[in-house]
Amino acid sequence: MAGLLYLPRFFVYHADKKITKETSETFKIMERRLFKFIMTPAFVLTWLTGLAMIHYLGLDIWLILKILFVFILTGYHFFCQVCLQKFKTDQNIYSPKFFRITNEVPAVILAFIIILVVFKPF
């Protein structure tokens, strides 16, 4: 989750038209390392532990909803990967404001997931 919250924050600053080429190259390195060494292993581990949860707990409504939110976060993860590729080739099409808004998506979903896990409604 930390990577999903932090990478778009990098994108906000990287999308700024006023940054220098040198700063842009620094952002590229930071973004790539965050995605490759933190976010992707966490993504795989999340799915493996989630599948183990399904195996041991069975499927309750709260868990199905949680999995739905994890699917949305998976899509967001891949969206971040596409944005990363665009930045890598200096072809970003999104504004800093766009990234500021989309940066809130994982935070909102995280709140719903926590509510589902703690209260297990239904």
11-66 tens-digit pLDDT: 999 999 999 999 999 999 999 999 999 999 999 999 999 999 899 988 888 889 99
Distance, CA of 73 to CA of 105 (rounded, Å): 9
Give the count of domains, the chain.
1
The boundaries of the domain holding residue 78 are 2-119
Are the C-beta atoms of 109 and 72 separated by less than 8 Å? yes
97-122 tens-digit pLDDT: 999 999 999 999 999 999 988 988 77
Distance, CA of 8 to CA of 90 (rounded, Å): 16
pTM exceeds 0.95 for this model: no
Looking up tokens 């971040």, which residue turns up? Answer: 80
Q: What is the 3-state secondary structure (H, E, C) of 31-96?
A: HHHHHHHHHHHHHHHHHHHHHHHHHHHCCCHHHHHHHHHHHHHHHHHHHHHHHHHHHHCCCCCCCH
Of 104, 105, 82, the C-alpha closest to 94 is: 82
